[in-house]
Amino acid sequence: MVVSFSVPPVNPLAAADNSFRFFFASPNFLEFGRTRHAPLCRSGTLGHLLVETRGCTMTRTLDIRNPRTGANDYAITPLSREALEARCAELRAGQPAWLALGIDGRAKAMLALCDAVDRHYDAILKALCADTGRYEWSVNEIEGLKGITRMRCATAAEALAEATGSSSDPTLRFQQQHVPYELVGIISPWNYPLILCMIDAITALLAGSAVAIKPSEVTPRFIKPFRAAIAEVEHLRDVLDVFEGDGETGAMIVDLTDTLVFTGSVRTGRKVQERAAAQFKTVFLELGGSDPAVVLDGAEPDFAAEIIVRGSVENAGQLCCAIERVYVQRGVYEAVCERVVARMKALIMNTADIKQGEIGPVIFARQADILRDQLADALAKGAKVLAGGRIISHDGGLWCEPTVLVDVTQDMAVMRDETFGPIVPIMAFDTDEDAVRLANDTEFGLSAAVIGEEAKAIAIGSRINAGGLWINDFDTMGGVGARAEKTAFGCSGLGGTRYGYGGFRRFLRKKAIVIRSVAA
């Protein structure tokens, strides 16, 4: 480990260069990701060395793993608290002028960002591919960012319209005024680095807020080329920034912003909520899921299998709304299992060529351990593997084979916890009541899918505790996200919808101006 200090001279006669570099590790160090660093204090102990930290700056360097090679081939240096405070103050200072642009002016700047992203397209794509080890979904992220931005710009004026009204008293009326938070913080995950750092930033910016983003330290390579695109956009560069950093940086973002959107795990979401609550700040948590798919008797097996496989292996299963539990009514169980297995066995991992194959690597190495543990737990409790079943290593990278499990039970980790991998556990059920009971046997409530005759599928799906329900499809919010709204149930999240008009309005505080007309 390397710790760098720059210590100002004690007096004018001191040497001009008072920098020190220490190479050591100590049990006193706190683990953060792949780095270790000393606790910050006025007078700190580093290992066995006492250092007066007043007036010092400490630089932390985080090594970043490449998911295709397993090698640490990139590094980031998180900002100090002082530097982050200064930049957040600049973003706040730019917010009044940004708000004064009006909705049309802000939309114009956001559309200019799409053009800037196109100018930096190759650099952003190269960085996303290195971050995630997959090509097709990296292209989709960039195109998706532009598509969502244009959609949100088209609906912003209607979504942000302020109301006026009167009362039964003709001398009394009101105006509804929207007051955006000055500075919105966003902490985003590693599975879709670009789109998930911006999906909420777009609406916050159009609503009139400034935005500070801290993406995951697992996938930070895209930040530099994306910041270069932002820097080209007049006005926007004064109110939007993206910061490299780790969990400590994220904690500072919570402290330095007025409200926050966190997308990630339930465990970290609890910590974010606790820290924000202590400061009376509202946070919006977009957390995990263990989303069920229910297949009813009468469903066409090939059609059902296509939805199940697509919903389970998108981005190698590394998405919050992936189908992770499959319940098939007994009348079509064998046929659906057979077709799911055939489709899963036909999938190709992109080990040899990043542009060839549907299954990319496990992006975060620790996630591979979770997948191994869930598979081992399932097999130990009697599950049977019909396809895949292994985590494989190739040139240092880790891939999860497209996997199908049967003879699964509700007590298995793969049926209870978030999986985040291309694993499909399939269980048979008999009655509609069984389907609802099994689908709701979870602490999560993000999304669900029901496949079958439309009216019956809607009736059953309406009883499932989930914020998003796909009938005879999977993850089609993008097609209706301009107006449709959904919130998470259970441990899958907290706060207002990120979709529809509510996706704008959650970044606004409402002020009612009540006016009494007084006769002259």
What are the structure tokens assigned to 350, written together?
């992109």
Q: Which helix (H) or strand (E) holds 259?
A: strand 259-263
Tally of CB atoms within 10 A around 34: 16
22 touches 49 (CB < 8 A): yes
Instruction: Please say if 433 is a catalytic residue.
Output: no
What are the structure tokens assigned to 489, written together?
């149930």
Q: Integer distance in angstroms from the first to the last C-alpha of the chain?
A: 76
In angstroms, the CA 4 to CA 127 distance is 27
In angstroms, the CA 71 to CA 34 distance is 13
Please state the three-class secondary structure of 163-192 as a single string: CEEECCCCCEEEEEEEEECCEEEEECCCCC
- Helical packing angle, 454-461 and 432-439, nearest 10°: 40
From edge to edge, which strands make up the β-sheet containing 240-242? 240-242, 210-214, 183-187, 259-263, 283-286, 493-494
In angstroms, the CA 444 to CA 442 distance is 5
Q: Which pairing describes strands 172-180 and 183-187: parallel, antiparallel, or unpaired?
A: unpaired
Tally of CB atoms within 10 A around 123: 16
Query: Residues for the chain: how many in total?
Result: 520
**Considering 88, 129, 153, 320, which one is annotated as catalytic?**
320
* CA-wise closest residue to 186 among 62, 305, 284: 284
Task: Please provide the DSSP assignment of 313-338 as one string.
Answer: HGGGG-STT-EEEEEEEGGGHHHHHH
Instruction: Please say if 286 is a catalytic residue.
Output: yes
Give 280: exposed, middle or buried? Use CB within 10 Å, 0-12, 13-18, 19+.
exposed
Tokens 């985080």 found at: 62
CA 129-253-134 angle, 5° bins:
10
**Considering 286, 358, 401, 418, which one is annotated as catalytic?**
286
* CA-wise closest residue to 282 among 310, 301, 254: 254
Residue type, 241: D
What are the structure tokens assigned to 339, written together?
């077709």
Strand partners, 428: 328
The per-type count for the chain, helices as H runs and strands as E runs, is 16, 29
* CA-wise closest residue to 424 among 340, 345, 302, 482: 340
71 touches 64 (CB < 8 A): no
The residues annotated as belonging to the active site are 286, 320
